[in-house]
Amino acid sequence: MSKETSKSIRRGVGIKTAVGFIFCFIYLLPFALVLVNSLKRKVSIVKFPLRLIDDNGLQFVNYSNAIEKMDFFKSFLNSVVITVFSVLVLVVFSSMAAYFLVRHSNWKACKVTFSLMLASMAVPFQVVMIPLITIYGGTLHVLNSRTTLILMNFGFGVAMCIFMCHGFIKSNVPLAVEEAATIDGCSPHGVFFRIVFPLLKPILSTIVILESMGFWNDFLLPSLVLGQRRLYTLPLAIRTFYGTFSNDYGNIMAGLVLSMLPIIILYILLQRYIIGGVVAGAVKS
């Protein structure tokens, strides 16, 4: 390799690295501003939003006020219960359904079912929002329930999860392994839970983090289903800081930081599985 070629390659790598840092800075700037402004008074946030430190020092009182006013621990527990059970139900049942659809793909019913699942992904939530709440609230009277919200989360998320698991099973789970387990006397349920399910770890980890982020940060559906204060999730609880004529920006920023921390920790723990799972599950079915 000539010296000019080597220099050109290094220049290209340097440019790509610089552009990457610029985009990273732009992406992280809003998060940094939320963290910085969570430690400032409202007047400082309004007048000098880019200033790092308030004139009166760090305002940790914003966090204590946020914890008290938004009833943080109860809202946190509600968010954890709804997110954990929604994701758990999705992971178990979507993987089972995808496995059945893959191994019986020659059945016409399975082909039709999978096609309908894919078609349902194109329907916006706003289209079914009013009829859904009218039926569940006005007819069935089952709103203001965490169980109802969990079942709705499952219904709106199952199509995407089945699609991802379907592609992963079809391309990464060999049928020979299942046949060997069957010959050794393993039952159909045992084949799935002992052989297939552990092999789905990459794609299921991807589903866990993506769906957890969606359920944890969701505001619209919980606001329609959970009308009682004792059932509020963290995004709904943060709404208490928004007034008719003014907003308590310091407490809002502190509440946002507190609500972001758990999902950021989960992302850090599972990030190494995300890209591999998405790529493996994105094959043409």
pLDDT by residue, tens only, the chain of 285 residues: 566 677 777 888 888 889 999 999 998 888 888 888 888 888 888 888 888 888 888 888 889 888 888 888 999 999 999 999 999 999 999 999 999 999 988 899 999 999 999 898 888 888 888 888 888 887 888 889 999 999 999 999 999 999 999 988 988 888 888 888 888 888 888 889 988 999 898 889 889 888 988 999 899 999 999 988 889 999 998 887 776 556 778 888 888 898 888 888 877 877 776 665 555 544 444
> What are the residues whose beta carbons fall under 8 Å from the beta carbon of 267, sequence distance 6 or more?
209, 213
DSSP secondary-structure letter at 52?
A: S
Angle (CA) 259 265 266, round 5°: 100
DSSP string, 223-264: HHH--SGGG--HHHHHGGGB-SS-B-HHHHHHHHHHHHHHHH
Per the DSSP assignment, residues forming a β-bridge with 247 are 242
